[in-house]
Amino acid sequence: MMDIQTILLFSAASFALAVTPGPDMILVAARSAAQGRLAGWVTQFGVSAGSAFHAIILALGLSQLFLAIPYAYDMVRYLGAIYLLYLAWQAFTAGDSFSSQSSSAKRLSLLTIFRQGFFSNLLNPKVALFYLALFPQFLDPEKGAVALQILVLAAIFLIIDFAVHGVVIWIAGSVRSLSANGHSFAKWSRYFLGLVFGGLAARLIFDGQR
C-alpha cells in the first residue's frame, strides 16, 4: 500500500500542475464564459473522463506505445488537431442553438459539450506522456500492484484538478452572469470559444516536441 508521504508529495505536485494554466483549464473557462457554469461543469466532467481513460491505458501499459512508435503519437496528435478545428468551425458558424430554451435541445447540448470535453482530452497524446513522465516517480513495485497504484494516483490527480477547475468555472461563469445576456454577448462568446478551439488545435499541430 502507498505510504502517506508519497500521497502528500504527489498531491502537492498535482496541485501545482492543476493551477498552471493549460489547454483543459482554458477550454473549461471559455466554455463557462460562453454558456454558463453548467456547461463548464459538463465540459470538466468530459475532460476528467478523458483523463481517467488515459490513466487506465497507462495502467494497462499501452501508453508506452507513443514512445515505441513515434508515428502513433503524431497520428493521434493530428487527429486531435482536426477535431479541435472542427469544433472551432462549429463555434464560429453556430446560430442561436447555444441559447435554445427547449429541454430536448438542452439535453442534446450537454451531451455534445461532454463529448467535446472528452475527446479534446482523449485525442491529446501529451496527456498520456504527462502521465508517463509524472507517475513513475511515485510508484514502488514493492508496495503492491503497479496498476492499482497508478489508478490511485490518477484518482487523486483528478480530484485535485476537478477542485481547481471548479474555481475557474465559478469565476468564468460569473463573467457571463454579470454581463447582459443578450444576442451580442452570445455571439462574441461563441467567437471566443472558437478561437480557443483553434488555438488548442494550433498548439497540437506546431508543438510537436515531447
Q: Is residue 196 part of a domain?
A: yes
Residue 184 confidence (pLDDT) = 56
Radius of gyration of the chain (CA): 18
DSSP 20: S
For residue 180, the model assigns a pLDDT of 47
Task: Give the model's pLDDT for residue 63.
Answer: 66
Residue 11 lies in a domain: no
The pLDDT assigned to 115 comes to 92
| 14 within some domain | no
Task: Check: CB of residue 49 under 8 Å from CB of residue 166.
Answer: no
Query: Shortest CA distance to 111 belongs to which of 46, 163, 170?
Result: 46
How many domains is the chain built from? 1
Domain that holds residue 95: 22-206
16 found inside a domain = no
Q: Is 107 exposed, middle or buried (0-12, 13-18, 19+ CB in 10 A)?
A: exposed
List of the chain residues with pLDDT < 50: 96-107, 180, 182, 209-210
**Three-class SS of residue 94?**
coil
Rounded to the nearest integer, the mean pLDDT of the chain is 80
Looking at the domain assignment, is residue 17 inside a domain? no
- At 100 the pLDDT is 43
All three cell numbers of 88, joined, read 472551432
Residue 13 lies in a domain: no
Structure pTM? 0.75
pLDDT at 188: 66
pLDDT at 103: 45
Question: What is the C-alpha end-to-end distance of the chain, expressed in Å?
Answer: 32
pLDDT reported for residue 66? 63
